């Protein structure tokens, strides 16, 4: 069995952010709850960005770095999302086109709330592993753009972001432990998106279900992997992070169950040591749904001490619900490869929105209704943001919808307008 894993990973978490304490103050939310969220900033999509443009912007640097021959060996593209733009035509069709991928390529979209990215990743890993050809690659992208619900306690965590991963038999970034995957899934009505502009559900139920799934998926992992221990087997952990406070609560609940009598200080120390690095980027971006678990993995690789081979336990959860606990092995080379993508630098370089700009952006974004036949975007509507943002590099944005077809354009240096 050949070694399979992630060859490259990149994030695109938008051009702008809003400061979470500022949002709390402006909305009149109880700021004593900021501590519970553990959030500092959240990414906000521009009015002319959607899950397609986010996906392309995340994957573009990975695809650009490949040789022509390597690019032609990408025979599978899967986009995981809960921000679809059509019931039939998948996001992957647009993404495939704007990335210039070969036509000798399968493409489709996956949906299972925030688990959709993991569903895509594991499917891709299985396809690469089963391929009789050396060098077969698959591109997996998770991409979601929230429609924030103003004046609620979920608004501060509703972010926007995409994660792109190249899966191959050259797992520089992370090598999968073959067969080390635990699952736990069942029907539950915790959170959902009943229409493209609404998120509904019960936060408490989601939290309890997430914890059930963490315990259940790990138990299934431990059933398959002899001697697996939640504390001793994994040097680091990366978990789906709707908000970092939730991960902290789930970690505490799991440890109390799996390590009877553990002291509160020992729980805190373990969280800091094994999850402290993973929650850093989610604290800066918010919930990016399908991609959140991979943002946590990239955050781990960028921010943890990886001075030797390390095993990372990864937990993915999607409401409704499906979950998976699996493990990957990372090395100092993995860390170098991820740091070279400049994810932290890109997060730091985002434009800080005032509350007024944030509200204007939400209003502008809401103008494009799901299923609209024709629509044209005013790409100069927020010149203070776009003029500054699109001088340094190329970014894909949505320019128009014509007879249901989405038309995108590259903005930035060297791009023709």
Q: Which residues bind another protein (CB under 8 A)?
A: 33, 36, 188-189, 202-205, 207-209, 211-212, 245-246, 248-249, 252-253, 256
Catalytic residue among 13, 48, 105, 114: 114
Q: Which of 113, 183, 116, 124 is nearest to 324 (CA)?
A: 183
Residue closer to another protein (CB basis): 134 or 202: 202
Q: How far is the CB of 190 from another protein (least distance, A)?
A: 8
Task: Compare residues 249 and 342 and give the one whose CB is closer to another protein.
Answer: 249
Given 75, 82, 155, 199, the catalytic residue:
82
Residue 109 bears catalytic tag: no
Q: Is the peptide bond before 321 cis (omega within 30 degrees of 0)?
A: yes
Sign of CA dihedral 45, 49, 51, 56: negative
**Annotated catalytic residue: which of 96, 98, 184, 240?**
240
368 with 25: CB under 8 angstroms?
no
Q: Any bridge partners for residue 322, and if so which?
A: 318
C-alpha closest to that of 251 among 187, 306, 315, 183: 315
Closer CB to another protein, 189 or 329, in the complex: 189
CB of 127 closer than 8 Å to CB of 119: no
Decide if 213 is catalytic: no
Of residues 315 and 377, the one with the C-beta less far from another protein = 315
Residue with tokens 């509507």: 381
In the complex with another protein, the residue whose CB is nearer, 14 or 318, is 318
Q: Is 405 a catalytic residue?
A: no
Q: How far is CA 166 from CA 4, 53, 212, in A?
A: 11, 18, 31
CA distances from 321 to 79, 113, 193, 198, 316 (A): 19, 8, 13, 18, 11
Collapsed DSSP state (helix, strand, coil) of residue 386: helix
Residue 249 CB, nearest approach to another protein (Å): 4
Sign of CA dihedral 82, 408, 392, 71: positive
Nearer CB in complex with another protein: 148/244:
244
Q: Give the C-alpha separation, 341 to 359, whole Å.
A: 31
Q: How far is the CB of 273 from another protein (least distance, A)?
A: 20
Least Cβ distance, residue 331 to another protein (angstroms): 34
Smallest CA-to-CA distance from 365 within 11, 14, 10 is with: 14
Catalytic residues: 82, 114, 240
């Amino acid at each position: 069995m050949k070694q399979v894993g992630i060859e490259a990973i990149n994030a695109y978490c938008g051009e702008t952010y809003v400061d979470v304490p500022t949002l709390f103050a402006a909305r009149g939310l109880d700021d004593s709850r900021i501590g519970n969220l553990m959030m500092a900033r959240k990414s906000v999509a521009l009015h002319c960005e959607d899950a397609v443009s986010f996906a392309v912007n995340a994957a573009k640097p990975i695809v650009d770095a490949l040789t022509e021959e390597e690019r032609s060996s990408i025979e599978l593209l899967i986009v995981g999302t809960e921000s679809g733009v059509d019931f039939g035509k998948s996001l992957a069709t647009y993404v495939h086109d704007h990335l210039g991928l070969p036509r000798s390529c399968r493409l489709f979209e996956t949906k299972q709330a925030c688990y959709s990215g993991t569903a895509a990743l594991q499917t891709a890993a299985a396809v690469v592993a089963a391929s009789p050809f050396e060098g077969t690659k698959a591109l997996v992208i998770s991409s979601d753009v929230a429609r924030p619900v103003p004046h609620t306690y979920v608004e501060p965590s509703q972010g926007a972001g995409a994660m792109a991963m190249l899966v191959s038999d050259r797992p520089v970034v992370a090598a999968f432990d073959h067969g080390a995957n635990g699952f736990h899934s069942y029907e539950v009505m915790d959170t959902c998106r009943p229409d493209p502009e609404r998120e509904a559900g019960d936060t408490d139920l989601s939290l309890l279900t997430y914890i059930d799934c963490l315990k259940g998926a790990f138990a299934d992992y431990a059933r398959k992997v002899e001697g697996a221990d939640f504390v001793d087997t994994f040097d680091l952990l990366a978990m789906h992070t709707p908000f970092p406070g939730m991960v902290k609560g789930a970690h505490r609940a799991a440890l109390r169950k799996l390590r009877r009598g553990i002291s509160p200080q020992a729980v805190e120390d373990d969280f800091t040591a094994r999850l402290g690095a993973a929650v850093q980027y989610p604290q800066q971006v918010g919930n990016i749904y399908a991609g959140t678990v991979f943002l946590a993995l990239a955050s781990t690789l960028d921010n943890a001490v990886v001075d030797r081979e390390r095993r990372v336990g990864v937990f993915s959860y999607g409401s409704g619900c499906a979950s998976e606990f699996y493990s990957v092995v990372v090395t100092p080379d993995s860390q170098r490869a991820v740091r070279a993508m400049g994810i932290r630098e890109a997060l730091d370089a985002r434009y800080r929105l005032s509350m007024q700009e944030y509200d204007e952006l939400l209003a502008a974004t809401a103008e494009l209704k799901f299923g609209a036949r024709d629509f044209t975007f005013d790409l100069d509507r927020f010149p203070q943001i776009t003029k500054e943002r699109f001088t340094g590099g190329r970014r894909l944005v949505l320019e128009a919808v014509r007879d249901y077809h989405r038309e995108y354009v590259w903005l930035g240096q060297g791009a023709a307008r």
